[in-house]
């Protein structure tokens, strides 16, 4: 049986206490001497690196899930009392000390309340905190101001709370009542008041309402299980991802944007994008499809059952069960990625797709929007217009040249362009493209870069203007180049 979620009544006073103690990402990183990632295996080690001040005591209680002797806990928690926090579910007695049954994780200025991470997941409706998927979705979501936002499958509320910073009103839905209770607590500890929670499956709780932003991290695992609420959607194959995508499209207001993480099945002989394109053919939205990885059934099963690795027998049984299910279903390739949708009246909508060389870096939402915007502008722009348009490389980029030694000398082999805030694309370009990039410094036009291309195209039969237009289109489509003003002349 899952433990009860703490009561809201002590949340405001606890928030004030944690703020005063500098219980934040920066404060805890200093206290721990490193990042905040923790798990039951390393928590005892991390506890020994902490000092003995009040912040260290709070970190042991609410971050590391470590017991603290009652008298010392009482000192650190004053003016709140141990008895009060125990009565409201924030603490529980244990031998000569107290422990917190919840974990409080700082993230981007918020305090997220959730179940502690255990060596094995103890109950079906467990509500987890930050994961790699959570961080990926948070990074990819555009953060422009909106009137309304919807977080579907909110969990501990992280995406609803992030949206609350740039949305007037946020609705968070989840089928798990414990998730909604944790979302309320996370909002209270974070001082956020514009989030409403609604119980129900997927988009049912919002009916015909339309939103300017929809964020969804669904239980998308392609799983034979019906055990874990956060993981197993219980709809078979990749139906959860399909339903999340089409539901998000239907919930968007005109011009609204949806950001989702998905898993899907594709055949080895077809493009990874083909199933997604089929699902979205009639959705009325422009779409950006990002493919992160395709895995074999065994790789996929091992990833989703990693929490069982400390029990080899249980882990082995899970792998056999999952791979056997995939074989029975004829599933040989399982893909992971993200999809951005934007409601449009264009017929037909535009669909673009890219490979992610890595996870996103920084706040990648603006890069997402550039990738969505580029095809429309490029389709309407002739090569001559493109050559006359002032362009520049986006802020926050690095250009790294790789030099290869051959015949006693070094020669430029390739150049990598990396954005600080990126969806995870990595562009390796040749000398012609780098000549275009360097020629565009200061908001110049691609035509201005033509003289600098002489050496790059010396042995090529390609017309320099045609080559510059081709390179420029590629760099705009990848979100590396942006317009500074309208075309000249």
DSSP structure class, residue 340: E
Q: Supply the pLDDT for residue 100.
A: 96
**pLDDT-derived band at 311, boundaries 50, 70, 90:** confident
pTM summary value:
0.91
pLDDT per position as a tens digit, 24-43:
999 999 999 988 888 888 89
Q: Supply the pLDDT for residue 425.
A: 85
Same fold, 110-296+333-356 and 378-483: no
CA angle 328, 332, 337 (to 5 degrees): 125
Express as a percent the part of the chain with pLDDT over 90: 65
Token pair of 383 as six digits: 């090569």
Residue ranges per domain, the chain?
Answer: 8-101, 110-296+333-356, 378-483
Predicted confidence (pLDDT) at residue 461 exceeds the cutoff of 60:
no
Angle, in degrees to the nearest 10, between helices 365-380 and 132-140 = 50
Domain spanning 110-296+333-356 has what CATH number? 3.40.50.150
Predicted confidence (pLDDT) at residue 155 exceeds the cutoff of 70:
yes
Q: Supply the pLDDT for residue 460.
A: 55
Q: Going by C-beta distance under 8 Å and a sequence separation of 6 or more, which residues neighbour residue 253? A: 148, 210, 211, 212, 343
Q: Supply the pLDDT for residue 457.
A: 60
Q: Supply the pLDDT for residue 456.
A: 61
pLDDT per position as a tens digit, 468-483:
888 889 889 999 989 8
**Contact predicate 449/464, CB 8 Å:** no
- Give me the phi and psi of 458, to 5 degrees please: -55, -40
Predicted confidence (pLDDT) at residue 231 exceeds the cutoff of 90:
no
Token pair of 461 as six digits: 């039969």
Specify the CATH architecture of the domain 378-483: 2-Layer Sandwich (3.30)
410 beta partners: 405
């Amino acid at each position: 049986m899952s433990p009860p979620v703490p009561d809201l009544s002590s949340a405001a006073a606890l928030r004030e206490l944690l703020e005063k103690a500098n219980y934040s990402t920066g404060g805890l990183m200093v206290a721990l001497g490193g990042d905040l990632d923790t798990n039951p295996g390393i928590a005892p080690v991390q506890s020994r690196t902490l000092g003995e001040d009040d912040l260290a005591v709070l970190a042991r209680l609410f971050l590391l899930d470590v017991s603290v002797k009652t008298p010392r806990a009482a000192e650190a928690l004053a003016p709140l009392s141990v008895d009060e926090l125990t009565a409201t579910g924030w603490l529980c007695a244990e031998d000569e000390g107290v422990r917190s049954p919840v974990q409080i994780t700082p993230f981007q200025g918020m305090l997220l309340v959730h179940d502690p991470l255990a060596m094995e997941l103890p109950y079906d409706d467990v509500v987890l905190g930050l994961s790699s998927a959570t961080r990926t979705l948070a990074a990819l979501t555009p953060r422009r101001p909106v009137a309304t936002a919807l977080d579907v499958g909110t969990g501990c509320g992280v995406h609803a709370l992030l949206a609350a910073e740039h949305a007037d009103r946020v609705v968070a839905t989840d089928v798990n009542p414990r998730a909604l209770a944790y979302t309320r607590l996370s909002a209270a500890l974070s001082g956020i008041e514009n989030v409403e929670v609604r119980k129900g499956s997927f988009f049912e709780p919002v009916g015909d309402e339309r939103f300017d932003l929809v964020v969804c991290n669904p239980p998308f695992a392609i799983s034979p299980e019906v055990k874990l609420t956060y993981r197993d959607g219980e709809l078979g194959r990749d139906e959860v991802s399909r339903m999340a995508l089409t539901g998000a499209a239907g919930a968007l207001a005109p011009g609204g944007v949806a950001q989702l993480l998905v898993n899907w099945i594709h055949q080895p002989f077809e493009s990874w994008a083909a199933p997604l394109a089929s699902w979205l053919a009639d959705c009325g939205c422009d779409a950006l499809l990002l493919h992160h990885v395709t895995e074999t059934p065994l790789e996929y099963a091992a990833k989703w059952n990693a929490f069982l690795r400390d029990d080899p027998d249980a882990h082995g049984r899970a792998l056999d069960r999952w791979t056997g299910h995939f074989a029975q279903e004829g599933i040989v390739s399982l893909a992971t990625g993200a999809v951005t949708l934007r409601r449009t009246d264009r017929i037909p909508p535009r669909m673009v797709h890219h490979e992610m060389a890595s996870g996103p870096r920084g706040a990648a939402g603006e890069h997402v929007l550039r990738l969505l915007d580029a095809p429309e502008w490029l389709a309407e722009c002739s090569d001559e217009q493109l050559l006359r348009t002032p362009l520049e490389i986006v802020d926050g980029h690095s250009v790294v040249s790789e030099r290869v030694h051959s015949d006693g000398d070094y020669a430029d082999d390739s150049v990598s362009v990396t954005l600080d805030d990126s969806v995870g694309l990595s562009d390796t370009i040749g000398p012609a493209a780098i000549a275009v990039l360097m020629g565009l410094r200061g908001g110049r036009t691609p035509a201005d870069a033509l003289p600098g291309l002489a050496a790059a195209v010396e042995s090529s039969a390609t017309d320099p203007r045609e080559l510059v237009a081709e390179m420029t289109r590629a760099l705009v489509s990848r979100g590396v180049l942006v317009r500074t003003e309208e075309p000249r002349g």
